[in-house]
Structure 1
């Protein structure tokens, strides 16, 4: 069967409130031409991340529809001339490249070096919940903080019930010797992070007191998805020579409170490799393969908590609405 010239997609045309039916629209878009390292994927499921909401809400008027989406699971339909690791028919998962058209479409072109075979034990919907957050958590733990199987000490995961926190707790417990504290603000979130393996639950609304209650000497490592207004608290709970890794976009952040303890600050952006086509771009394929093996071995579980069976503008608007509340536990997935 030949590939059509256009396919259905969901796109944003302006930074409209998600309550506006025009904020995300059903459109037809051209099927992308494959670059040498590209695979063409028939997308079966996507998850919505804060980056989707941030990009959509920050848009100005668009001359052409902008297809969002940076998490997907689907089946390879065709491959570029230089592709060696994947073949048509492979079931795959990936987080994509923020400089290219996204996954909210029927057919997406994506570089094979950031694509891996999905866990065989998961459905497409269950798999789509994990790639972006798993890459973020993996790079934070094992590349920014340089942790490993022999690492000990205590890690505080703020936003423990969120997308990144939910997979970071699992990876840290499975692949390091760390004690893991996870922040959660409501009963459902507390139960969730405990089920994922957190050793203790802390409250990010009262970080200093709650950390001191379970780790009186402080923590060696801290993960921050929300740093604004929190640096002084971080300086109190992180030990001298400790390390912090952050993924947010705080404007004018003042890190001076960390100096007296010589606390290191790391930034993590999982799009860096694809943004700059770094020589180690294929590391993302490799790490997704390792996460898939952990899932299939029963050591890591999907973080999908909400599945919307409506791969359309209406379904994606609902997913965006849920993520915008900032109160979701785990991940929201939209599937066919």
Structure 2
């Protein structure tokens, strides 16, 4: 990959962005609107990316529905595109590089033609994927990776059983593939709600599938009588008592939703509770922020080697306020499998 230590200027002063002005239902035509916004001065480590594709995540829906717009807030986290300019301290990328990334919640979102992003949370786009296919991966892959390896501390030598609650969502779909590719001794139990979703998670590597609408305790303990060593959950609210029965003593739970505030039922079995927020590194400007660049590069390598695949299942076009509203409604329905992607202008 080529590198540059010289700032590259752009003559473009404004760009088209899509966001919201007030908290409205996605079905309202005014829920998302397009505006021309200023292209900001690039920071030392910033890239200016021409966005080719984005995906819509539950966090987009949550922010649009409840976070203050402060006049106009641009949504979007996942993106794939081409670097058009770089800041003066950039060393990882150069103009013309194809990239993918998930951005940060404290900066304007990716739903705009030109988007500034810190190079340390950006990876090279997988060469074997189109932009739309690549845009499905960053946020969910980062979340899954950090959950498995940073929060749960799993390694290639780890042996035991992992329960994935919410396995048919974007993060679950990425996690199943990472376990299949990198954790050969970990057995996966995945939750699903119907035959289509059961087939999806089995195809991604789950050894066992249980009905998320049924008795979770009975189903899990039938497979793992002593309980599971690790539990990932995208839906933890109201479930702590259940988790206390199905996680083995000294086991671990990692949650990505807002979840419970009282996890005391886990104390009797010395079960550890972990929170995972993939925005922590960029939000806190942690010293190891570049780890997100490194893990995305590994994800790209795994994709190009045929060991991971895109989780894009619904692709819409073009990137517009109307199309993004449609994507928000699909995600809000809770019926999607995999990721919803929007591409092209």
TM-score normalised by the chain length of structure 2: 0.95
Name the structure 2 match of 1:145: 152
Name the structure 1 match of 2:198: 190
Name the structure 2 match of 1:166: 173
Match of 1:42 among 43, 50, 53: 50
Name the structure 2 match of 1:118: 125
- Mind listing any 5+ residue stretches in structure 2 that lack a counterpart? 1-8
Alpha-carbon separation, structure 2, partners of 1:303 and 1:117: 18
Alpha-carbon separation, structure 2, partners of 1:61 and 1:2: 28
Is residue 308 from structure 1 mapped to residue 321 from structure 2 by the alignment? Answer: no
Name the structure 2 match of 1:102: 109
Name the structure 1 match of 2:32: 24
Is residue 221 from structure 1 mapped to residue 235 from structure 2 by the alignment? Answer: no
Alpha carbons of structure 1 residues 258 and 29: separation in structure 2 relative to 1, 3 Å: same
Alpha-carbon separation, structure 1, partners of 2:11 and 2:300: 29
Alpha-carbon separation, structure 2, partners of 1:160 and 1:181: 9
The CA deviation at 1:32 is 1.9
Contact 1:228 1:253 in 2 (8 A): no
The CA deviation at 1:8 is 1.2
Name the structure 1 match of 2:280: 272
Extract structure 1 runs of 4+ deviating beyond 6 A: none
Alpha-carbon separation, structure 2, partners of 1:30 and 1:285: 27
Structure 2 matches for 1:173-322, cutoff 5 A?
173-176=180-183, 177-205=185-213, 206-250=215-259, 253-322=261-330
Contact 1:173 1:179 in 2 (8 A): no
Alpha-carbon separation, structure 2, partners of 1:254 and 1:62: 32
Name the structure 1 match of 2:162: 155
The CA deviation at 1:292 is 0.5
Structure 2 matches for 1:83-102, cutoff 5 A?
83-102=90-109
Deviations 1:67-101 (A, max 9, x none): 11010000000100000010000000000011001
Name the structure 1 match of 2:334: 326
Alpha-carbon separation, structure 2, partners of 1:164 and 1:246: 11
SS at match of 1:293: helix
Name the structure 2 match of 1:78: 85
Contact 2:10 2:85 in 1 (8 A): no
The CA deviation at 1:61 is 5.3
SS at match of 1:248: coil
Alpha-carbon separation, structure 2, partners of 1:210 and 1:183: 10
Deviations 1:180-214 (A, max 9, x none): 11111122111110110111102223211221232
Give aligned pairs, total. 334
- Mind listing any 5+ residue stretches in structure 1 that lack a counterpart? none
Contact 2:100 2:135 in 1 (8 A): yes
Deviations 1:119-177 (A, max 9, x none): 00000000000000000000000000110100110000111010000000110121112
Contact 2:194 2:211 in 1 (8 A): no
Give me the CA root mean square deviation: 1.2
Contact 2:32 2:325 in 1 (8 A): yes
